[in-house]
Amino acid sequence: MLTKRIIPCIDVDLDEDGNPAVYTGVNFEDLKYTGDPVEMAKQYNEAGADEFVFLDITASADGRETMLDTVSRVADEVFIPLTVGGGIRTKDDIKETLRAGADKVSINTAALQRPELVEEGAKAFGNQCIVISVDARRRYDEEGEFYADVDGESCWFECTIKGGREGTGIDVVEWAREAESRGAGELFVNSIDADGTKDGYDIPLTKAVCDNVSTPVIASSGCGGPEDMYEVFTEAGADAGLAASIFHFDEYSIQDVKSYLDERDVPVRL
Amino acid sequence: MSTTHPQEETLADVVVVDYGLGNLRSATRGLERAGANVTISDDPDSIDEADGIVLPGVGAFGDGMENAGPFREALVDAAENGTPVFGICLGMQMLLTSSEEADKAGQGDVEGLDLIPGTNVRFKEGQKVPHMGWNELDVQRDHPLVEGVDGEYAYFVHSYYAVPDDEETVLATTDYGVDFPAMLANEAGNVMGTQFHPEKSGETGLQILRNFVEYCAER
């Protein structure tokens, strides 16, 4: 039986000396240094992670070269699927990233701005390596396409850019369907509302996407522990759950999460 | 052609066929970790001296066969001479005779390598496609490739699966709505494949790569 995937994610920036380093958000904004990306990837691999997501948050040209080198070093050590995101804007960026050793690339803003990029990437490299990432935000007005009932209120989900600081007016579910029809192989659903709260994933959001696409969905943002993973798999129908700080700060191990799920009959790779 | 240099003493010389598709880095590193001296080659003439040949692959059947076209004769010769040939993912599907995928893509009858007679079909409606993620291996019969992997998990990404004419070629199955062949080998045993990616399947995958490299070394 196909198992639910547990995926640790690292945000990688350059430190003061220009070396790649993992930073983890604490209470929304403060970033705390948490380790060396290659070492952390090795540890998560050994700990039983099902995949690994590496997000380049440098957003600079200099940083990009260093990041590709780091991706290669991670890929040489870690024999599980590796998804790389951050700053991927063109078909050439996709090619470079895959060549560095990524199995999949995660594309966010660039795909919203130019949806043809999804087709170009899928056609050239296969659907399976094109992951479309969205940063969703709840909106309670009348401008969306797909509405969900959240605590008795009707709301829709808007795609945002720039870390949630800017709205696009595009409905997340509508965009997910479009990305799928253009060839996305997987959808990576982040929630601006849930991010950093550790109060659990945005279930109505994740469910709305899962109910409207047949592409695998990775739920992200808000995970505070195993019970949140359980909820997003059983109530929203996600295929994979992503988490960062609970793993980085050793609050829970990957095995803690998997044991919890296994005891409750959610299929996992033990 | 490029040769990589692993640190430890190697057991066998393995050629990874580079026909222009996919990321060969992980497969190469995985084989090296398993004890192989790996050569990545886009030259069909280079494969006849190898102890083993790996046919990787992602993407579509028609494109794969088109790009691998120049290797067809060399691969068939090597297989008939008893050289171990290992197809990964699309590389395994290409070992069979045909695929529904080429028909669906309007490419008509694209001929596979026909080293393991059979075809490849798409998962039925009602299952999420692609079948993506970790799923369990249920070993069906003995072969050096399946040593130590019964009941373990491997990483799959595919929309089509193999249906060999001879059920005896099925080494292991996996359940995704249907029990489909996860690992195959021909009657002689030297042509084999995995539908999943051993180079992405953690310790289980490395075990399979070690099994392959040891099989190459023992020949």
The CATH number linked to A165 is 3.20.20.70
Residue among B133, B175, B205 minimizing CB distance to A79: B205
Mutate: best of A50, A51, A80, A130, partner B, most B CBs <10 A: A80
Cα-trace Rg, chain A? 17
Q: Does residue A270 lie in a domain region? A: no
Residues of A in contact with B60 (CB under 8 A): 126
Q: Indicate whether this model's pTM tops 0.90.
A: yes
Task: Name the minimum distance, in Å, from the CA of B189 to any CA of chain A.
Answer: 26
Answer whether B69 touches A (CB < 8 Å). Answer: no
What are the strands of the beta sheet with B85-88, ordered from one edge? Answer: B2-3, B36-41, B12-17, B52-55, B85-88, B191-194, B179-185, B170-175, B138-139
Mean pLDDT by 10 residues, chain A (270 residues): 96 88 73 87 94 87 83 92 93 91 94 96 88 96 89 94 91 97 96 92 97 95 96 98 92 96 97
Q: How many domains, in total, are found in chain A?
A: 1
Strand B170-175 with B179-185, pairing:
antiparallel
At A84 the three-state DSSP class reads strand
* Interchain pair A50, B133: CB under 8 A: yes
Q: Please report whether residue A269 resides in a domain.
A: no
Q: Say how many CA atoms lie within 13 Å of A162 toward its Cβ.
A: 4
Reading phi first (left if > 0) and then psi (alpha if -120 to 50, else beta), residue A16 is in alpha
- The DSSP output letter for A225 is S
In a domain, residue A182? The reply is: yes
Q: Å from A239 to nearest chain B CA?
A: 9
pLDDT score of B4: 52
B72-106: pLDDT as tens digits: 999 999 999 999 999 999 999 999 999 988 777 77
pLDDT of residue A68: 92
The verdict on a CB contact (< 8 Å) between A79 and B58 is no
CA distance A140 to chain B (A): 31
Range list of β-strands (E), chain B: 2-3, 12-17, 36-41, 52-55, 85-88, 98-99, 118-122, 131-136, 138-139, 153-158, 160-164, 170-175, 179-185, 191-194
Residue A64 lies in a domain: yes
Q: How many whole angstroms separate alpha carbon B85 and alpha carbon A83?
A: 29
Q: Give how far B135 is from chain A: nearest CA, Å.
A: 5
Distance CA B21, CA B58 (A): 7
In the predicted model, residues of chain B with pLDDT beneath 70 are: 1-8, 21-23
Nearest Cα to B8, choosing from B29, B28, B37, B30?
Answer: B37
Q: Going by C-beta distance under 8 Å and a sequence separation of 6 or more, which residues neighbour residue A260?
A: A226, A227, A229, A230
Cis peptide, bond prior to residue A204, ω within 30 of zero = no
- B111: annotated active-site residue: no
Is A126 in contact with B202 (Cβ distance < 8 A)?
no
Contact between A2 and B205 using a beta-carbon 8 Å cutoff:
no
Cα separations (Å) of A81 from B132, B156, B157, B199?
A: 11, 10, 10, 9
Judge whether B171 and B185 are in contact, CB under 8 Å: yes
pLDDT value of position B3? 52
Asked if residue A15 belongs to a domain, the reply is yes
Q: Is residue A268 part of a domain?
A: no
Q: Which of B59, B157, B199 sits opposite A79 (nearest CB)?
A: B199
The full set of domains in chain B, from first to last, is 12-218 (3.40.50.880)
Give me the residues paired with residue B78 across strands: none
pLDDT of residue B1: 47
Q: Out of B135, B202, B206, whose CB is closest to A2?
A: B135
Range of the domain at A15: 5-263
Q: Which residue of B has its CA nearest to A214?
A: B128
Residue with tokens 């960062």: A244
DSSP A234: I
**In chain A, whose CA is at the least distance from the CA of B135?**
A2
Please tell me whether the interface predicted TM-score (ipTM) of this complex is above 0.95: no
Q: A97 — contact with chain B (CB < 8 Å)?
A: no
Q: Is A214 on the interface with B (CB under 8 A)?
A: yes
